[in-house]
Structure 1
Amino acid sequence: MEHQVVLKHSTSQRRPATESWCIGGQMSRISAFEVVYDADSDVLYISRRRDVAARGIEDKSGIVWRYDRSGELIGATVVDFHDLWASRGDELASELSEKFHVPTPQAQVVVNFALEQRD
């Protein structure tokens, strides 16, 4: 089964761009995420869609999961992204995979892409 990840990313100056990756066998699903890394504050923002968050819940890992009014997960905010997660990318990918209901390799693409933004 092939999964394509479409990443819409912006720098902290909010200049959008798009990149795509394909992972695996036959294509069955496309998930798009907007990925914004603010290097000045070391915060990673991952959004499934642009919508106002009605609430945010911080988990034990320090990730703030953002939900819309209907309770659907629309994004995640990862504070101290590089400091806390650069050496634990697989763990973060697993967390993203579980919460966003996407395959772990797909979430790993998001994490790897975000880590490259720091360089």
Structure 2
Amino acid sequence: MNAQATAPKSGTGWSWVLLAGLFEVGFTYALKMEQRDPRYLPMFIVFAVISFECLARALKSLPLGTAYAVWTGIGSVGTIILGTALFGESLSPMRLALLMVLIGALVGLKLLERTPSS
């Protein structure tokens, strides 16, 4: 059996990095809530561990730089949305425009991704 047949598919890597990013949003939310109530610390720890495990799985089929950039990007976008919706943080037109640039960059990384050669 050749190495290409046994290598993980990059589609699976994208699913893992998406999950990792969503759990990153969860652990940043828990971190904010933990400042108000220490009972959120276990939630922070569990979500952080899951996020890093998902990222580790994504790295099996995605390049390190791409996976890390998308992971942090998903976390950043999600955290900005949560901060605006739940904590009353401002979303000025300039901040919204920069958020759209960030989303565009994440989509661009996905569209330009090539499966690493073995």
More strand by share: 1
Classify the TM-score, shorter chain: under 0.3
> TM-score w.r.t. structure 2 length?
0.28
Larger Rg: 2
More helix by share: 2
